[in-house]
Every structure is written in C-alpha cells, then in structure tokens.
Amino acid sequence: MPLHTPHFAHDGDRPPRNGHSTPKPPKGVPPVPPRGPGGAPPVPRGNRTQATAPHLPRRVAELPPAHSALICVALPGLVISTDQGQLTGRGLEGFYRAGRRVLSRCQVRVAGREPLAVQACMIGADCARFVGTVHAAPDVGPDPDVVVERLRSADGTERIILHSAASRPLRLPVEVSLATDLAELAAVASGNSGPELSATVHDSGLRWSCDKGDCAVMAAPPPADALASAGLLRWEMELPPGGTRSVELRLRPDGAAPVRAVGHGATSPFAEARAAGDDPRVQPLLRTCVEDLQALLLRDLARPSDVHLAAGAPWRCGPAPADCLAAARMTLPLGTRLAAGTLRILARTQLAGPGLRSGMIPGPRRDAGRHVPPGCTGTDATLLFPVLLAEAWRWGLPEREAQELLPVAENCLRWLRTTVGDGVYLPDPQPHGPLRCETQAHAHRAAVLGADLLHAWGRPGGPELREWAEELRGAFCADFWIEGQAGGRPAAARTRDGRLVPHLGAGAAHLLDTGLLGSGALAPGLLDKVRTEQLARLLGDPVMDSGWGLRGLGATEAAYNPFGHRGGAVRVQETAVAVAGLAAAGHEKEASALLVGMLSAAEEFGYRLPEMFAGEPRVEGVAPLPHPAACRPAATAAAAGVLLLTALAGIRPDAPARTVTLCPVRSAPLGEIVLTGLRVAGAPFSVRVGRLGLATVEEAADGLQLGV
C-alpha cells in the first residue's frame, strides 16, 4: 500500500486557502486552488515597472534534521537510523510501514555492554550496515574481542551477527530491548508521538496492540527469555574462537506476513542500464540513482500493475503528481513502463464534468520563495501530462497504450486553452495569480508538443495550439525580458498589473527545456538565439553556479539564502534541466561546468543525491553543506542523475519513425563514456561517446536507423 505521509511545509506544499467551494478531488489527492469565472485576461504591455510581488505569510514547520540519518527505503517500508546503530526512539529513529512507526526502539547489549559504534554505511537503497565492538573478557587489553555487525533493512528485518576474535570460547548474554509507539510519521516529526506501548509475549518474540494497530517482532532463534514488562529478549550465545553467531528479528505489522516492496517485484520498470568510461564516478552514480528510484516505487491500489514514484523519503512518501511526471520524463532512457504507469494513475485523478477546472490533474500548492505567492503543482502536472505522453511515444511507448491515454492529454490541452482564454499568458494559480516565467515555458512546451501529438494521431486542435504558442513566443520577450547593459535577463514573474519581478533564479533554466518533436528535432523555445546565449552566460556565472550546481536564486539577490529551498539552495532537478538544456542549445562550456560540479557533489553525498543542498560557493577541500530537511532519496534527484549522464549522448529517438538522432556534448567533459542497457523503441540501446565527442551506437533495435 502507498504511504500516506503528508506533504510537509519544508517543500512548501499546502492546500489552498480560500473560501470558494470546489469540486472534491479523488480520494487521497490534495485539492487544487479553484479558478474564478472567465479565462486569464491579457496582460497590458505598457507598464514595465520592476517590482516584487506581494509577500504572503507562510506557515513554518520545525522538522527534525534528517541530513545525517541513514534512511533505508523499500516502500511501503522505511527505516531511519543514526550512525550509532542503536534505535533509541528519539527523533525520527525507527522502522516505518505505510507511514506508521512500527518499531521505535531496538537496542542491543552484549555481555552487559552497548557496542562501541565504529562504522555505519548504506549498502543499498534499502539496507544499512552498522559495526560496533565489545570487550567481552576483562583481560584482553585495549583490543576488542567481539565485533557486533547489524544489517538493517527497510523490509522490517534486522540481523545481529557476533564475530569472536577471542582466543578462547566465549559465553555471552545478548539482550535486545524493543519498544514501539505505533505513531504516524507526522506525529513523530512534530514531537507528538505519544508514549511507548506495553508489550506481551508472542510466539518467539513480543507483540504490541492499541487502537492504532498491532505489531509483532519475532526472533530466530527464539530467545531463551522474553520479558514483556521490559520489552526485553535475551539469549545466551556460545562463540568458539573465531566463531560467529547471529539473531534475526522480523517485524510483522498488524500481525500480517511481510509486504514485499514494490521495487523488489519480479519485473522492474527500469532497464538494467550501466555506465562506464574515463570518469569512474559515472557507474556508481547511475547505479545508486536507479536503486533509489526502485526504492521509491509505489503500486496503484486500483490497478496493481501500474507503478509510480513517491516524491521522496522521509517526508514525502506519498504521491506528488508533478514530481511523479517530472521524474518519469527524466527516466525515459530507462524505458517507458514507469511513464505509462504514472500517466495511467494520474489519468484516473483528472477532474471531469462541467466547470472551469475540468481537465486538470489535481495537485497541492507549493511555496515559490519570497518574491511570489505559492504556485499550484496541479498546473505543473496538467502541463506535464501531454508532454510526457508525447515524448514517451517518441521513446517507444506502444501505440495502443499511447492511444488509450490520448483523450486525457486532450483534456489537459483543452484546459490550457480554456484557462488562457483570449489572453496570452497562463496565470498560476488561476485566475488571479502572477504570470510565472517557468509556467509560460511549461505551457508553451505543452502546446507545441501537444499539437505535434494531435497531428500525428489525426486529432483536431493542433492548429489552434500552434497559433497560441506562436503568439506567446512573439509576446514573451517583450513582456518578460528585462533589458540591461550586461545583456538583460528574464524576469521571474509578472504581476497581473504588468509589473516585473526581476529576480534571477534557477526557474529560468526551464526556458531551455523545450521538448522533443519528431525526427529528433527539438521544439522551439520562448527565447531567441541572442537571449538564449545571454541566459547561458547568466546560468554559468558564479552568481548562479555555486560550483556544486545551480542556485535556486542568484547569490547577489537581496533575498538570497543558501538554505532557502526556493531562495538559493541548489535543487538537483533544476541543475539537470539546465545541463540538458544548455547542452542541447550548444552552450557546452556552461553545461559542462554545471555537470562536473553536480558529479562532484554526488560523490560527496555517496552518490545518493538529496533533492537540494545549500548553495554555498564551492571551496577546495570542503564538502557541500546538506540541507537538514531535504528528502534523500528523492525521486526527482535520482531521476536527474539519469538525465545528467544521458544528456552527454544527446539521444533523441523517434520510435514511430524508427529513427534515433545523437547530438552528443562535443567537448566530452567526462572523457569517454559508454552507456549500455538503455531502452529505445522497446529494445536495448547502447551508445559510446568518445573523447573527441563523437557518438557511436553499439546496440539498437532491429530496423532502427540513425537520423541526421
């Protein structure tokens, strides 16, 4: 079952705050701000005064720090530990299942002592290893004679292994203290988890029950003693010299059998891709990103064959439509199964019936920083839906599946045209929200790719979308570009009375993400060549490029905060979007600098990229500063790692036409790189980019031709 963890305020997601009556969205889907009558009126172009949008008060939530935790994920299972290994019940520590903490305390004592923690590390997305030492005999000197190894998995198992280094047999008492509060993660995060529950002896372990649910822990081998009042299991272990003994603990929430993680199913939506080359970091990055994506998979209850991604752990283990779609799009080189499942799941949430919201994919509001009010992720999701469908079809989504989803995409595009009405721009949120720069980029991309999709399938509506997209292109540079002596820059937003919000942020990178059309061609963007060159210079400047990645807000802006999740922190997804967009536009110097910086950051984070980290400038010998409230793993960050590496090859498929075009990064910033096991047109695809920037296809589907 999917986790029902709420969206916490650290990412700014929130329900709408207004008094309008709105249609009730499908169960489990957060509501979307309603729109008033009428479409979006056109924006007057006469007044171009620069101004900051009104600042709205924001709810603040104090979240426990998660940046130093070891988080094992295999949804619906999750376990959060510190590097000490013991689960004490403090903070976020514990095993979770479907958003509930089913075990809060698991403390081990050997020979009456707690092991001295010496190492803690992740050995997979779903498993952590902890090593401690114990002086079991009183006369061994400074050297420990017992090593205690603990393997802790998100599926609810923990294996405790004792290794003897003593020269004589040892007889050791081993005690495990267990407890739970069966609290929801939201309550744990807010410090309201409640008291520990009383245990009863159950089978070969302990059991806890309350009105919240039930949980049992069973041990193998069975303990010699079980003391319910103290929550204690006890064994007498005999270890020969150099010998090993172990105990395995298994959690059973609600007395049920173990729930197999979605990512551990027999069939994965991701191809078994590999990366190799001159830079040894490419393979661990790709491997870790795919492992994290597998760990975040959720199955749809209405149709279990469909899977999608949770937004991230520990805070956002539930569905987030815009993040689901963005991550599925970035992972298209690994196959189209995730995209198909995500599209089908979200299609079932599309709002129908009469009303101005008809056709929207619902989503919560998201904080947009200090300059503009919160935006609606439902807008992002609705615009991303036809884009993902169009591009997934180009990558090889079967025609039958694409055709089934086409009416949903048409409804999204109809909503776009209805909402814009007689105007030029799309407000967000509707109807009186500001005109955000990146929203116009998303809307333009949806219109162009949507029109291409409709034309390919012989459906009406394409010419009207192209006509509006051309009008938007013609107006955008006049209305959103702030001229200046250094070449100018795009405004972050435009208020409804025509004033510009002049701040430069990473959202401008979305202007470079124009989308893929047929025959390997990229869609036109909102910027002309001269302004694209200027934006590339701005994104490559140290004001924006921290050396580790792209800042969410320029360092010289008055509102800059290196930890601001929309005000200066490096967001991995936007850096990857910038790298891919800059490379596609031919600005390889700036793309390469951002790519190399992000790869260095990934190495510092053990290749498990967080959704964001501090935008402090890179200093030699100093690691990037983690954000204490960032999700790690995060779907968009893990998917961004896939995009960063595949962008080097510039793969542009057109599976319906049986062609693939390669536009590699000619400067080869990582030297030679070989990507194998990708998927194009439903078959394995491998490509090599040499040190001279030339790309060679080494494996492809039968009949797939190399385009020009």
In percent, how much of the chain has pLDDT > 90? 80
Q: Nearest-CA neighbor of 153 among 80, 231, 219?
A: 80
Helix residue spans in 515-587 (DSSP H) = 529-540, 572-584
Cα–Cα distance, 490 to 441 (Å, whole number):
12
Segment 621-636 mean pLDDT: 96
Q: Nearest-CA neighbor of 159 among 170, 167, 171, 148?
A: 148
Cα–Cα distance, 540 to 562 (Å, whole number):
17
Asked whether 208 and 133 are in contact (CB, 8 A), the reply is: no
pLDDT tens, residue by residue, 261-308: 676 655 789 999 999 999 999 999 999 999 999 999 999 988 989 999
Q: CA 385, 391, 396 angle in degrees (round to 5)?
A: 120
Beta strand 705-706 with 659-662 is parallel
Q: Which amino acid is at 196?
A: E
Cα–Cα distance, 602 to 697 (Å, whole number):
28
Asked whether 665 and 588 are in contact (CB, 8 A), the reply is: yes
Q: Is the pLDDT of residue 21 over 80?
A: no
Q: Nearest-CA neighbor of 286 among 270, 306, 303?
A: 270
pLDDT tens, residue by residue, 158-190: 999 999 999 899 999 999 999 999 999 999 998
DSSP H or E run through 589? helix 588-604
Q: Which two tokens stand for residue 152?
A: 């802790």
User: How would residue 333 be classed by pLDDT, with cut points 50, 70 and 90?
Assistant: very high
3-state SS, residue 164: strand
Cα–Cα distance, 157 to 206 (Å, whole number):
15
Q: Which two tokens stand for residue 656?
A: 């319906």
**682 burial via Cβ count (<10 Å: 0-12, 13-18, 19+):** middle
**Looking at 51-55, 333-337, 362-366, which range is the least confident one?**
51-55
Q: Is the pLDDT of residue 596 over 50?
A: yes
Asked whether 479 and 458 are in contact (CB, 8 A), the reply is: no
Q: Which two tokens stand for residue 138?
A: 């009183």
Output the pLDDT for position 38. 31
Q: Nearest-CA neighbor of 312 among 11, 689, 685?
A: 11
**Looking at 280-289, 314-323, 409-418, 611-620, which range is the least confident one?**
314-323
Q: Which two tokens stand for residue 61?
A: 């939530």
687: which strand partners? 675, 697
Which one-letter DSSP state was computed for residue 516?
Answer: B
109: which strand partners? 175
Render 179-245 in DSSP notation, one character per residue.
E----BHHHHHTT---PPPPEEEETTEEEEEETTEEEEEEEESPPSEEEGGGTEEEEEEEE-TT-EE
3-state SS, residue 172: strand
pLDDT tens, residue by residue, 631-648: 999 999 999 999 999 999
